[in-house]
C-alpha cells in the first residue's frame, strides 16, 4: 500500500512539474525573443562598424597602385617549427619576403617610412608566425594571412595589403 501511495505522489509531482515548466516557458518566451532581437541588432551594428573600418583602410586598388617593399636575406633563413605529434624536429627555410603597399592609402607615406626603420621587427613577426606552426598545419597561405594581420595590427594601418614569401619551404 505504501508503494502505491508513493507512486501516486511521484506521478502527481511529475505532472505538476511539467505543468509549471510549460507555464514558465510560455511566460518567459516573449522576453527571450525580445532579448534575442536586441542582441541581434547590437551585433549587426557592431559588424557594420567593423566592415566600414576594414573597407576604409583597404580601399579599392589596382596592381598599378601597389608598391613592393622587398626584404632579401643575405643567406637562406632556417627556422624551427613547433614540435608536432611525431615528436621529430621540423624546420622551414625562407629567402626573404615582399610587402605590397597600397599607394592610395591615407597613411602610405608614414607606413613606408616606418617599414624602412623597423625592418628587423617585421622580419621577427614573420619568423614568429612561421615558428608557431607545426609541419602538419603550416601552409604558405596560412602564414601570409596571419603575418599580414599581425603586421597591419603592429603598424595600425591597412596600407600593407599583401605579403609574398620568397622560397618558403618546410619539412
Domain ranges across the chain: 1-58, 63-170
Report, as an integer, the average pLDDT of 69-81. Answer: 91
* Coil/strand/helix, residue 67: strand
Q: What is the pLDDT of residue 42?
A: 84
Q: Which CATH superfamily is domain 63-170 in?
A: Band 7 domain (3.30.479.30)
- Residue 28 — φ and ψ, nearest 5°? -85, -20
| Arithmetic mean of pLDDT, 10-27 | 94
The pLDDT value recorded for residue 40 is: 83
Give the pLDDT of residue 171. Answer: 84
Task: Tell me the three-class secondary structure of 69-121, residue by residue.
Answer: EEEEEEEEEEEECCCCCCCCCCEEEEEEEEEEEECCCCCHHHHHHHHHHCHHH
Q: For residue 16, what pLDDT band results from cuts at 50, 70 and 90?
A: very high
At residue 49, the pLDDT reads 56
Identify the pLDDT of residue 30: 87
The string of pLDDT tens digits covering residues 109-142 is 888 888 888 999 999 999 999 999 998 888 899 9
pLDDT at 57 over 50: no
Tell me phi and psi for residue 79, to 5 degrees. Answer: -125, 135
Average pLDDT across the chain, whole number: 87
Amino acid at each position: 500500500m505504501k508503494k502505491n501511495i508513493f507512486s501516486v505522489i511521484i506521478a502527481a509531482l511529475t505532472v505538476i512539474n511539467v505543468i509549471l515548466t510549460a507555464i514558465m516557458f510560455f511566460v518567459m518566451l516573449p522576453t527571450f525573443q525580445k532579448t534575442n532581437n536586441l542582441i541581434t541588432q547590437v551585433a549587426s551594428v557592431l559588424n557594420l562598424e567593423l566592415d566600414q573600418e576594414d573597407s576604409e583602410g583597404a580601399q579599392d586598388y589596382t596592381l598599378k597602385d601597389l608598391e613592393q617593399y622587398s626584404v632579401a636575406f643575405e643567406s637562406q633563413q632556417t627556422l624551427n617549427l613547433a614540435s608536432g605529434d611525431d615528436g621529430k624536429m621540423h624546420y622551414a627555410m625562407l629567402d626573404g619576403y615582399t610587402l605590397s603597399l597600397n599607394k592610395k592609402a591615407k597613411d602610405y607615406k608614414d607606413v613606408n617610412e616606418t617599414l624602412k626603420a623597423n625592418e628587423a621587427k617585421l622580419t621577427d613577426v614573420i619568423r614568429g608566425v612561421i615558428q608557431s606552426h607545426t609541419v602538419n598545419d603550416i601552409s604558405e597561405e596560412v602564414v601570409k594571412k596571419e603575418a599580414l594581420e599581425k603586421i597591419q595590427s603592429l603598424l595600425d594601418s591597412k596600407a600593407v595589403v599583401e605579403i609574398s614569401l620568397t622560397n618558403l619551404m618546410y619539412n
